[in-house]
Amino acid sequence: MIQLPGLIDPHVHVREPGQTHKEDWDTATQSALAGGVTAILAMPNTKPPIFDDATLELALSAARNKARCDYAQFVGAGPDNAEALSALANQSAGLKMYLDSTFGELRLDDMSLWTPHFINFPKHIPIVLHSESRTMAAGILFAAIYDRPIHIAHISLKEEVLLIKAAKERGIKVTCEVAPHHLFLDKDLTGLTPGRLEVRPRLASQADVNALWENLDVIDCFATDHAPHTVAEKDSASPPPGFPGLETMLPLLLNAVNEKRLTLNILIEKMHSNPCRIFNIPEQQETYVEVDENAAWEIRAADLHSRCGWTPFEGWKVKGRVRRVVLRGQIAFEDGKILAQPGYGRNIRA
C-alpha cells in the first residue's frame, strides 16, 4: 500500500450549470474522489458560461450544495469582461481563455481581445489557455510581452512540448499540463466509434505521443480535461468532443509507474506539488490517498461514478487501485464507496 498526497486536477468540466444530464457537482466530485483527486478546478464553459459575478455565483452555489471534494471555479475571458474578471480573480481558480474555436460569450478571435486580459488579470492568479499549435505559441508570446505566468492546457503535440521547453529555457513564465488520453491514446486508435473518438485537442500521432513521454520533464501537471458527454450524445450524428477522465487518470498513471514509464515521485510532482504551486492551492490538511499499487483490475464504465456512462479506456487492464481517500481528516472514499457527503467539499478560494 502506498500513500499519496491528495491529488489536484486542474482541468475538469463539471457541466453544472446547464448540462446536468451529463454531469453535475455531485457526480463529478464523486468521480474525483474515486480517482484519488481531492480538489478539482472547474472550467467555465458551462451553460451559461462563468464570465461575470452572477454566473460565478451560479456555479459556486451549486458547488457549495453538492461538491464532495474541494474545488475552485475558473472564470472565462470574453471580448469585454477583462476588468470585471480582474475584480473576481481572488474568488476564482484562475482565468481561462479559449483561444481556439469557441463561440458565444467566451469567443476571442482577434488577438487584440487578448490584451486587456493579459494586462488586467492579477499576476498571482494563473491564466490558463486553451491554445493549440501556433495559437499556443501566440499565447506564450503574450506571456513574454506582458511578463506574467500562463498555463497551457492539454498539450498534445511534439511541436507544442518542444516549444514550451524552449520558452522555459528562455525564462518565459509558462507551465503546461497533459491529459492521460494524450499520453495513452493516439489517432490510430481502433475499437471506438467515430463519435467517441472526438476530443479537442484531437488524439495525435504516435510521434507526438512519444515526444510527450520523452519530454515529461517539460510537463508540469497531469490533468484530466474530464469532459463528460452521454453515450447517446457521443453516438449521435453530431458527437460533441470530450472524454471523461477523473476516475481513470491515477490508475492509468500508476500502471505506467508499474511499467517503469515514470516514477512515483514524478507522479506526485505532477498531480500534487506542481498544481498546488502553479494554482496557489493551499495544502489540504490531513488529506491523503491510499493506493494498492499491485491490485490488477479492469476499467469498466459501469463501475465509474460519472454520469456520462462510458470511458475510452473500457476494458483496459491496469495495475494500481485507489483504496481509500482521506480528505481533511474524514474518510471520503473507501473500497469503491463514496463516503463524503454532498456539500462536504470546500471552495479553496473562499
Q: Using CB under 8 A, which of 42, 167, 253, 257 touches a copy of itself? A: 167
Output 98 or 279, the one with its CB closest to a copy of itself: 98
User: Least distance in Å: CB of 214 to a copy of itself?
Assistant: 13
Q: Using CB under 8 A, which of 172, 192, 266, 268 touches a copy of itself? A: 172
Q: Using CB under 8 A, which of 1, 141, 296, 331 touches a copy of itself? A: 141
User: Least distance in Å: CB of 174 to a copy of itself?
Assistant: 10
Q: Using CB under 8 A, which of 1, 47, 87, 166 touches a copy of itself? A: 166
Output 53 or 159, the one with its CB closest to a copy of itself: 159
Distance between CA atoms of 117 and 127, rounded to whole angstroms?
A: 9
Output 133 or 347, the one with its CB closest to a copy of itself: 133
Q: Using CB under 8 A, which of 2, 53, 79, 162 touches a copy of itself? A: 162
Distance between CA atoms of 276 and 284, rounded to whole angstroms?
A: 10
Output 23 or 208, the one with its CB closest to a copy of itself: 208
Output 100 or 233, the one with its CB closest to a copy of itself: 100
Residue 134 binding a copy of itself, by CB under 8 A: yes
Residue 120 binding a copy of itself, by CB under 8 A: no
Which of 205, 189, 307, 299 lies closest to 252 in space, CA to CA? 299
Output 158 or 321, the one with its CB closest to a copy of itself: 158
Q: Using CB under 8 A, which of 2, 84, 137, 268 touches a copy of itself? A: 137
Residue 144 binding a copy of itself, by CB under 8 A: yes
Question: Taking CB under 8 A as the criterion, which residues in 73-112 touch a copy of itself?
Answer: 110-112
Output 55 or 102, the one with its CB closest to a copy of itself: 102
For the chain, the first-to-last Cα distance in angstroms comes to: 34
**Secondary structure of the chain in the HEC alphabet?**
CEEEECEEEEEECCCCCCCCCCCCHHHHHHHHHHCCEEEEEECCCCCCCCCCHHHHHHHHHHHHHHCCCEEEECEECCCCCHHHHHHHHHHCCCEEEECCCCCHHHCCCCHHHCHHHHHHCCCCCCEEEECCCHHHHHHHHHHHHHCCCEEECCCCCHHHHHHHHHHHHCCCCEEEEECHHHHHCCCCCCCCCHHHHCCCCCCCCHHHHHHHHHCHHHCCEECCCECCCCHHHHCCCCCCCCCCCCCCHHHHHHHHHHCCCCCHHHHHHHHHHHHHHHCCCCCCCCCEEEEEEEEEEECCHHHCCCCCCCCCCCCCEEEEEEEEEEECCEEEEECCEECCCCCCCCECCC
Residue 2 binding a copy of itself, by CB under 8 A: no
Question: Taking CB under 8 A as the criterion, which residues in 320-349 touch a copy of itself?
Answer: none
Residue 123 binding a copy of itself, by CB under 8 A: no
User: Least distance in Å: CB of 248 to a copy of itself?
Assistant: 30
Task: Give contact residues for a copy of itself (rule: CB under 8 A).
Answer: 110-112, 115, 133-135, 137-138, 140-142, 144-145, 158-159, 162-163, 166-167, 169-170, 172
